[in-house]
Structure 1
Amino acid sequence: MTITRRDFLNGTALTIAAGLGPAALLRAADADAATAAYPPALTGLRGNHAGTFTLAHSLAREGAAYPTVLAQEAYDLVVVGGGLSGLAAAWFYRRKFGPKARILILDNHDDFGGHAKRNEFTVRGRKLVTYGGSADMPASAAGNAAVRTLLGGLGLDATRAPALAQTPFAALGMGRAVFFDADHFGQDRFVPGDPFAALIDARVGTPPGGGTARPALDTIGAHLDAAPLGAADRAALLRLAGADGGIAGTATRTADAAGAASPGLASGAVDYLAGMAPADRAAYLARTRYATFLRERAGVGLGGLRFLRSRSNDAYALDADGISVAEAISIGLPAGAGMPAPALDQRLGKSPASRLWFPDGNASLARLLVRDLVPGVASSAGKPEDIGRAAFDASFDYGRLDREGNAVRIRLEATAIAVEPDTRITRVTYGWRGNLHRVEAQHVVLAGYNMMIPFIFPSLPAPQKEALRAEVKAPMIYTKVALDHWRAFAALKAWRIHAPAMAYTDLWLERPVAGSLSAAATPDDPAVLHMLYVPTVPDSGMSVRERFRAGRALLLGTPYDDLERGIRAQLDRMLGPAGFASRDVVRGITVNRWAHGYSYMSGTLSPDDAALQTALAQAGKGLGNVRIANSDSAGSPSLTAAVEQAWRAVDGLAAIG
């Protein structure tokens, strides 16, 4: 990959200068390293883009050492990481220690919010706004004291989601569809409907107002008959779908091994673990991969496995070979009779029961926090009683984030490389615009990736460092495509498409933004297409950590040009028969590459995960006046975890006399 000028200034130059004095470092500074005036409007490669990880990788991968510099600033609190957890920690700190507390927030990206990024496009004079990462509010958020306190303090009701615009898709007869690609299924085939997704939604329960009825078995059978799958796989999948939920007495058609229609298989639910003792059954569900269960117990062949394998990508960033049967059941995937009812894991960052509160996802929450922490940074837009809309509509002046005289300063493109606690103060060294800088603080909250903390905080006890390094984050890409129109989707009668074995396994048109921004009410209007890519390393048999590391290497090693070509090629292949041509329809692409995405969730497939959460709780206590926040510490990628960990970290800090 080409090393950009920003990449050089944010790390490479410092590596070269590691043995030089302050004067040489000063000469390395360059005013041109300042970020663009408004980062959300930047397109191309975002998320973990060039320049955000160079210094961190020099520490973790190369063991680079940097010279000591003198501290030039002092604060009550330094927060390392400007994501939701870091911003919430600053907010809770002011609530505890008073609004005059001086706080510096450091973040290695060119925008605040961490994974809660905002993407913007302008197409034919219309502003299209969407999320680049953290999007949903978990169903359990309203029951969490930290979340209720934070949202209430910002003027939001944790029990009531802001009203979002209705989509025009149902009125146009548009629904779901599945695209089977020739590379994995023998032929390219677009099949309307997606009853397996509807089955999942019906079992788990969708957000209020979005309930889905359980599909009839004849609907599932008709869908499978249209799919390029072998007769045995169609029969096995229909048995699996029919058995689940115990649809007793329903007359239906199934295919026998020869492909002939035969009635009545669903008249009795199939228990694939019949005769297994309850304790053994529970152990089997916890310790067996879902793909193994499908293959060995449900009789699903290779084609059927490919059909089902990526249904868990959005929830876990893992395919059917990377999750247990119990984890599959928890998000509504079918497993037959005699199984526990779906019970969503509250650690999930995204699930069928989570909901989108704002069109730009949790970026609006980050904007609310910044607006509260740094007065004057945002214009006052919208009605006072509609605080969520006001945050969404407001314009932000990034030049005001880090001004002398602000009680709270947010310093972007600043990567912490050393945290050194002393008796009464802690010193934090960071790289910023080609220079090394050092600040002193009474308190420090580390709210960045847990796996980096052992490298920047070497005095932490070894057991705590070991636990933090085990938090290998899940890689993924959220690609946003600005479309001039969405006529092809309307022609195909599909607003959401599942492509089970392609790079981007899930694509959907996003809802229009009501009010002053855009109104995608007809297929002739501009819209944003969301595309999900999770490099799951299918059929590898790797452990979760091995999968995440391999996927991360793949994402970081793929140039943007290759990613863009792949995006356009997949869209042209899937939508071309409906008249879509990317060269004519695509008006902008933002690839939100999260090489370090979802927080690692301990599971039962990895024996060494059993004590991980206890070790993380101990590690989060930090050392001296340093505490550790971030959702990683909760073993959960959810917004609830990010906020709760910030609350806990600040609660553990004591005033210094």
Structure 2
Amino acid sequence: MSDINPREARDLGMSRTISRRDFFDGVAMTVGVATLGSLTGCSGDGPPGGAGAVQPGVRGDTAAALSVPHALRDDRFWQHAGAPEPTGETYDLVVVGGGVSGVSAAHEWLRRDPAARVLILDNHDELSEEPQLGSVSVWTPEGRELLDRLDIAVREPDGRHYPALGMYDSVLCDRETYPVERLVCFTPEIEAEQWVGRLPIADRARRDLLALYRDPVDWFPGLSRERKQERLAGLTYSAFLLDVCGTHPDVERFCRTMPNADWAYDARAFGAIDAWGRADGWEFPGFRGLHLDRDKPSRFNSPTVQKEWGEPRVHCLPQRGRTLVRTMLARMIPGFTGSRDHEPADRRLLDLPANPVRFRLSSPVVSVRHDGPPDTASSVTVGYFDGHAVRTVGAGSVIMACWHTVIPHLVPELPDDQRRALREAVKQPLLQATVRLRDGEAWRRVGVHRTRWTGAYWCLSELDGRADPAGPVTARLVATPCRSELGPAEGAVAGRHALLRTPYDHLEYTVRDQLTRLLGPGGFDPATDIEAITIDRWGHAQAPEYCRPWHAFYPDGPFPADLARRPFGRIAIAGSDAIPAASADAAITAACRAVTELST
């Protein structure tokens, strides 16, 4: 935290003992605030405001969760692993990966064969959590059927709740982007001329931006609808604004983070055709003059934009992906409740020998091989590392529900073309900070419930759910480390490397700093109002959905995912990468398909 001024850290409450939790790819990390002069390091899960520093504790085995896969990738693991040791265990199905897709595969397998014995192996030391669930209203049939079987109800947020309290959507033109920092609220009565006039941008940029909202021209005159869409498909939204519309650079900087929260990268990587598909209200201006009817999507729109076309995006699950995982496990494992209140006892139930379904944590898989030629073998041997040695179990079938980029290192028998296709699934990194606040009165006084930032580290800050500002509330912040100027794939890799080097104290500082900049005028004091901070860092968060202009083969194919997910003997491949789409229902659909492939 050498770049953080000790006095600023003290003013922002960095020295206060609160509950601090930091997770990387679902693994609990050691959390601490570095000593700054007289500041005492604080971390852990102690009660808010407790006396004394809480000692840091690591609940996740980070070496097993991250180092083993990296060692496999770098050809270092087998140099020191020693010979595999058989456990003598055999299962009808072994699932590699304990996220939504892996547990869905086990659940579906057991539904079809209630007498089956199933083992789920996962490299984390606790149950994984998915960063995104998407809109349940447009889920795949397999996803909706699973929710029905589990009796998981969706809730429909009341879009009138916060506006009725005088709290609105907003954008903060931050000091990272412009010389002057200014908040603009999108109240129902405000006109574009009013809020554009308040932006701290150049005069020409105001004229250009207002023209995009009010009276954009036909940028491609004389072209047919199909040709216009094809032109958009060859551009990013940033290139559309700068090169086609010829706007002032301040306009592109204002619009740059519009796609971040949904796509994990900004307008420099987000396709113009999808920006047209998502244009609504204050988002993605500039397309109206093209006179493209919105009766249906373009064939160039990404699968998610096509799936959600014309549907209100209002349904969501009561919690994130952990709800699905825990609920499914509670149906399959006797005595397991899935409740966080019973977590220590529940964890002991996950891997009992008598259970028909066993979930083995801290067990990164290192090898999956058929017992004989893949086209005739009737069983598979699966090796995993238990922290001391490689253990093996036997399986009638295996479903790989892990990241696709890992699979070539685990299944060396795969054909070369399939291995290459699997390696193309480069996921986007993503962070989410969950901040428990004493109350939400500062949000109410400022008049916001959701704020997009134009260039700060956290691109979105919002109140979760339908909170009463008078009482305790939870705020959510989202950050997208992708280096979007490099494109989605290369930008994801660069962003992930940067994320690995980012210490927790820097993340906490930016959370406190941005909330103070936003809510300070409403009386917010980070030193007393923040009661807990949990930061979830997913280095491999969102599946690389096919989209223009980055995938020239889309939409006509052939698609790498079709080759990557091809069954191989008694091994089938699931995970959201197999669709590919960054949503829980995609993971569920891939799991059901993998079960079907092994059952026929």
- Do Structure 1 and Structure 2 share a fold, with TM-score over 0.5? yes
Instruction: Quote the Cα distance in structure 2 between the aligned partners of 1:275 and 1:612.
Output: 29
> In 2 relative to 1, CA 442–108 (structure 1 residues): closer, same or farther, beyond 3 Å?
same
Q: 1:173 aligns to what?
A: 166
Instruction: Quote the Cα distance in structure 2 between the aligned partners of 1:633 and 1:563.
Output: 32
* Aligned residue among 375, 400, 418 for 2:349: 400
Instruction: Quote the Cα distance in structure 2 between the aligned partners of 1:370 and 1:532.
Output: 29
Instruction: Quote the Cα distance in structure 2 between the aligned partners of 1:424 and 1:533.
Output: 46
Instruction: Quote the Cα distance in structure 1 between the aligned partners of 2:162 and 2:551.
Output: 45
> In 2 relative to 1, CA 109–229 (structure 1 residues): closer, same or farther, beyond 3 Å?
same
Structure 2 gap ranges (5+): 2-22, 28-44, 46-54, 372-376
Structure 1 residue matching 2:507: 3-state secondary structure? helix
Instruction: Quote the Cα distance in structure 2 between the aligned partners of 1:612 and 1:456.
Output: 27
Q: Does 2:367 align with 1:418?
A: yes
- Number of aligned positions between the proteins: 529
> In 2 relative to 1, CA 329–49 (structure 1 residues): closer, same or farther, beyond 3 Å?
farther
Is the Cα–Cα contact under 8 Å of residues 384 and 390 in structure 2 kept in the other structure?
A: yes
Is the Cα–Cα contact under 8 Å of residues 425 and 440 in structure 1 kept in the other structure?
A: yes
Instruction: Quote the Cα distance in structure 1 between the aligned partners of 2:454 and 2:60.
Output: 25
Q: Tell me the amino acid that sits aligned with residue 475 of structure 2.
A: L
Q: Does 2:484 align with 1:534?
A: no
Q: Does 2:254 align with 1:302?
A: no
> In 2 relative to 1, CA 46–394 (structure 1 residues): closer, same or farther, beyond 3 Å?
closer
> 1:248-271 deviations in whole A, cap 9, x for unaligned?
xxxxxxxxxxxxxxxxxxxxx521
* Aligned residue among 556, 562, 571 for 1:617: 562
Q: Does 2:234 align with 1:287?
A: yes
The 5 A counterparts of 1:614-653 are 614-653=559-598
Is the Cα–Cα contact under 8 Å of residues 92 and 118 in structure 2 kept in the other structure?
A: yes
Q: 1:575 aligns to what?
A: 519
> 1:26-79 deviations in whole A, cap 9, x for unaligned?
xxxxxxxxxx9xxxxx99999996752111111113543233312211111100
Q: Does 2:137 align with 1:139?
A: yes
Structure 1 gap ranges (5+): 11-35, 37-41, 117-132, 195-214, 244-268, 380-390, 513-519
* Aligned residue among 323, 327, 334 for 1:375: 334
Q: Tell me the amino acid that sits aligned with residue 154 of structure 1.
A: L
Moved more, 609-618 or 78-87: 609-618
Moved more, 618-627 or 346-355: 346-355
> 1:260-306 deviations in whole A, cap 9, x for unaligned?
xxxxxxxxx52122233545423211111111110122232221111
> 1:460-490 deviations in whole A, cap 9, x for unaligned?
1111110110000001101111111222111
> In 2 relative to 1, CA 148–537 (structure 1 residues): closer, same or farther, beyond 3 Å?
closer
Deviation, 1:167, is: 8.1
Q: 2:67 aligns to what?
A: 54
Structure 1 residue matching 2:413: 3-state secondary structure? coil
Q: Does 2:101 align with 1:85?
A: yes
Instruction: Quote the Cα distance in structure 2 between the aligned partners of 1:340 and 1:115.
Output: 39
Deviation, 1:613, is: 5.9
Q: Tell me the amino acid that sits aligned with residue 527 of structure 1.
A: V
Is the Cα–Cα contact under 8 Å of residues 572 and 594 in structure 2 kept in the other structure?
A: yes
> In 2 relative to 1, CA 458–166 (structure 1 residues): closer, same or farther, beyond 3 Å?
same
Deviation, 1:521, is: 2.3
Structure 2 residue matching 1:600: 3-state secondary structure? coil
Instruction: Quote the Cα distance in structure 2 between the aligned partners of 1:111 and 1:288.
Output: 42
> In 2 relative to 1, CA 601–47 (structure 1 residues): closer, same or farther, beyond 3 Å?
farther
Q: 2:217 aligns to what?
A: 270
Is the Cα–Cα contact under 8 Å of residues 480 and 531 in structure 1 kept in the other structure?
A: yes
The 5 A counterparts of 1:225-244 are 225-243=197-215
Is the Cα–Cα contact under 8 Å of residues 489 and 495 in structure 1 kept in the other structure?
A: yes
Q: 1:127 aligns to what?
A: none
> In 2 relative to 1, CA 51–190 (structure 1 residues): closer, same or farther, beyond 3 Å?
farther
Identity of aligned residues (%): 28
Is the Cα–Cα contact under 8 Å of residues 164 and 358 in structure 1 kept in the other structure?
A: no
Q: 1:212 aligns to what?
A: none
Q: Tell me the amino acid that sits aligned with residue 336 of structure 1.
A: R
* Aligned residue among 491, 497, 503 for 1:559: 503
> In 2 relative to 1, CA 290–433 (structure 1 residues): closer, same or farther, beyond 3 Å?
same
Deviation, 1:646, is: 0.6
Instruction: Quote the Cα distance in structure 1 between the aligned partners of 2:119 and 2:167.
Output: 49
Moved more, 330-339 or 231-240: 330-339
Instruction: Quote the Cα distance in structure 2 between the aligned partners of 1:483 and 1:234.
Output: 36
* Aligned residue among 302, 313, 327 for 2:260: 313
Q: 2:304 aligns to what?
A: 347
Deviation, 1:356, is: 4.5
Deviation, 1:86, is: 0.6
* Aligned residue among 363, 372, 384 for 2:322: 363
Structure 1 residue matching 2:475: 3-state secondary structure? strand
Structure 1 residue matching 2:132: 3-state secondary structure? coil
> In 2 relative to 1, CA 575–374 (structure 1 residues): closer, same or farther, beyond 3 Å?
same
Is the Cα–Cα contact under 8 Å of residues 476 and 532 in structure 1 kept in the other structure?
A: yes
Deviation, 1:654, is: 3.6
| TM-score normalised by structure 1 residue count | 0.74
* Aligned residue among 426, 430, 436 for 1:472: 426
Deviation, 1:435, is: 3.3
Q: 1:549 aligns to what?
A: 493
> In 2 relative to 1, CA 167–553 (structure 1 residues): closer, same or farther, beyond 3 Å?
farther
Moved more, 43-52 or 160-169: 43-52
Instruction: Quote the Cα distance in structure 2 between the aligned partners of 1:613 and 1:286.
Output: 18
Deviation, 1:546, is: 0.6
Q: Tell me the amino acid that sits aligned with residue 563 of structure 1.
A: L
> 1:109-131 deviations in whole A, cap 9, x for unaligned?
2332x443xxxxxxxxxxxxxxx
Is the Cα–Cα contact under 8 Å of residues 177 and 454 in structure 2 kept in the other structure?
A: no
Q: 1:497 aligns to what?
A: 451
Deviation, 1:376, is: 1.2
Instruction: Quote the Cα distance in structure 1 between the aligned partners of 2:198 and 2:60.
Output: 39
CA root-mean-square deviation: 3.1
* Aligned residue among 86, 92, 95 for 2:111: 95
Q: 1:446 aligns to what?
A: 400
Instruction: Quote the Cα distance in structure 2 between the aligned partners of 1:428 and 1:362.
Output: 27
Is the Cα–Cα contact under 8 Å of residues 137 and 355 in structure 1 kept in the other structure?
A: yes
Q: 1:68 aligns to what?
A: 83
Instruction: Quote the Cα distance in structure 2 between the aligned partners of 1:551 and 1:232.
Output: 33
Structure 1 residue matching 2:288: 3-state secondary structure? coil
| TM-score normalised by structure 2 residue count | 0.81
> In 2 relative to 1, CA 451–140 (structure 1 residues): closer, same or farther, beyond 3 Å?
same
Q: Does 2:182 align with 1:189?
A: yes
Moved more, 552-561 or 339-348: 339-348
Structure 2 residue matching 1:451: 3-state secondary structure? coil
Is the Cα–Cα contact under 8 Å of residues 135 and 362 in structure 1 kept in the other structure?
A: yes
Is the Cα–Cα contact under 8 Å of residues 44 and 590 in structure 1 kept in the other structure?
A: no
Structure 1 residue matching 2:459: 3-state secondary structure? strand
Instruction: Quote the Cα distance in structure 2 between the aligned partners of 1:607 and 1:81.
Output: 28
Instruction: Quote the Cα distance in structure 2 between the aligned partners of 1:193 and 1:645.
Output: 40
> In 2 relative to 1, CA 487–152 (structure 1 residues): closer, same or farther, beyond 3 Å?
closer
Is the Cα–Cα contact under 8 Å of residues 137 and 357 in structure 1 kept in the other structure?
A: yes
Deviation, 1:357, is: 3.1
Structure 1 residue matching 2:444: 3-state secondary structure? helix
